[in-house]
Amino acid sequence: MAVHEPEARQSYLVFACGSSWYAVPAESAAEVVTFPELTRVPGSPAHLLGVFAHRGEVIPVVDMGLLVGGASQSSRRAVLVRLPRGTLALTASTVAGVSPVTGTLDPLGPTGVHVHLRGPAKSGPRDVAVIDPEGLFDHLSQGA
């Protein structure tokens, strides 16, 4: 059973990976970067494109398209999501900027990564999936 959360009221960094739009809480979005050539991680899932060093930290790059079951997007840009226990880079083909998001924040699916994507939500005219950064970090840490 989905847990209904209240309507979103904070600011989010809104970005796209291909034709899908996402929003991450602005306080978790550290910066948008163009990442260098990546170092592959042997045995890693396809959505983990590799890692790169940034300001003394090794950061994994996650292809959002592949993660949610879609197509890979050849983008060299990513949104750095910084959490107390580490940083993730989420691929971004377009970055719309920081804006409010309206809608409900129910999980978009019962299992897998979709438990950590919330909605239905909108940022202006765009339908967006709101990312739960802590939940996504946990999901990815479990080798998913």
Summarised one tens digit per residue, pLDDT across range 92-113 is: 999 999 999 999 899 999 999 9
pLDDT score of 63 more than 70: yes
Summarised one tens digit per residue, pLDDT across range 32-48 is: 999 999 999 999 999 99
* Mean pLDDT of all residues belonging to the chain: 90
pTM over 0.85: yes
Q: Please list, in sequence order, all residues whose beta carbon lies within 8 angstroms of the beta carbon of residue 67, skipping any fewer than 6 positions away.
A: 47, 113
What gap in Å lies between CA 38 and CA 25, rounded to an integer? 26
